[in-house]
Amino acid sequence: MQTLNLLEQQFSDFNAFRLFESNHLENNQLGLALLEQLQTTLDLNELLNKFAMMASRYVEFSGLSFKAESVEASIRGSRSGKISRHFNLSLNGQHLGRLVYGLNTPLSGSNEKILNELHRYFLNPLNNALTYRTALMLAMQDSLTGLGNRRYFDEQIKRAMHQANRSHNQVGLIVADLNKFKAINDTYGHAVGDKVLVHFADALRVSVRDSDSLFRFGGDEFVVLIECAGKESLEVIYHRIHDAVAADGYLEKYQVSCSLGATFMNRADTEKSFFERADQALYRKKMNMAPRLSLV
């Protein structure tokens, strides 16, 4: 993979600062060239790399990252410097995030002005990339619970299985559903049923590790994808889920319980066979409603 060797960037004798002295930056050929490059992608990481390639021609830095509330991206080969310099980026009064430069020497006034001018060309492409990313995430998200949806699960299980085969780690699945959920909807209405699903999603959240992934397929069917899994970690999560459901006052009010089926990936598995084995374990578990973990 290509990296940006920004510390080794050779600077010409040309005074780049003069490129930005015009009061009509929209007519500046460098700015237009940069904007044209930035408008070729909606991928945040690629956008940041394109911007860094241009900026590194005029300002020396060893690393560059973009940080926002729920987003973080860094250029390829980014390294921290002796000094970190932060630039807040806003467009039409909306805060987009901040660029963080890794520097080995203090930023001069002229170089700071250059970066501020370059940032002006970066703002609209950045906003477009962030909007696109948000749209993608919403397309992968269950609107009721905020968990990943079936489409996102299909992507993540494929990635996790591929990674596990490469690194010789285990991947585990826990498939969950609520017992007698239809009766709750029929008796108390869908508003209560929806709130039960939200509370169950919250119970799942507090039961898993940061590295685990949660999904809702629709109805009352949920899945936990556990990477770098072991029998002990699966058992801990399995029992945490039961404990979190029992501890939730709203779920207790409507006597909600859940059934869980768990399994590990086999090397010969496809995504379909892996999921189906966990799903079969779930339905076998529903026959006796026992909380004990039984791996298949």
Interacting residues of 145 by C-beta distance below 8 A, sequence separation 6+: 197, 198, 201, 216
Rounded distance between C-alpha atoms, residue 225 and residue 245, angstroms: 19
CB atoms within 10 A of CB 182: 11
- CA distances 109 to 106, 113, 115, 133, 272, Å, are 9, 6, 10, 34, 59
CA angle 206, 212, 217 (to 5 degrees): 85
- With beta carbons less than 8 A apart as the criterion, state whether 143 and 218 touch: no
What are the angstrom distances between the C-alpha of 142 and each of 194, 195, 197, 216?
12, 14, 11, 7
Give the active site residue among 142, 212, 220, 269.
220
| Element (DSSP H or E) covering residue 157 | helix 150-167
Residue that has been written with the tokens 């397309």 in this structure: 139
State the residue for tokens 């809702």.
216
Residue in the block written with tokens 């370059």: 118
Structure tokens at 201: 């999603």
Contact (CB, 8 A) for 74 and 64: yes
Token pair 């169950």 is at which residue? Answer: 200
Judge whether 220 counts as a catalytic residue: yes
The pair phi, psi for residue 11, each rounded to 5°, is: -100, 135
Alpha-carbon distances, residue 53 vs 59, 103, 130 (angstroms): 10, 16, 20
Amino acid, single-letter form, for residue 51: F
Catalytic residue numbers, as ranges: 220
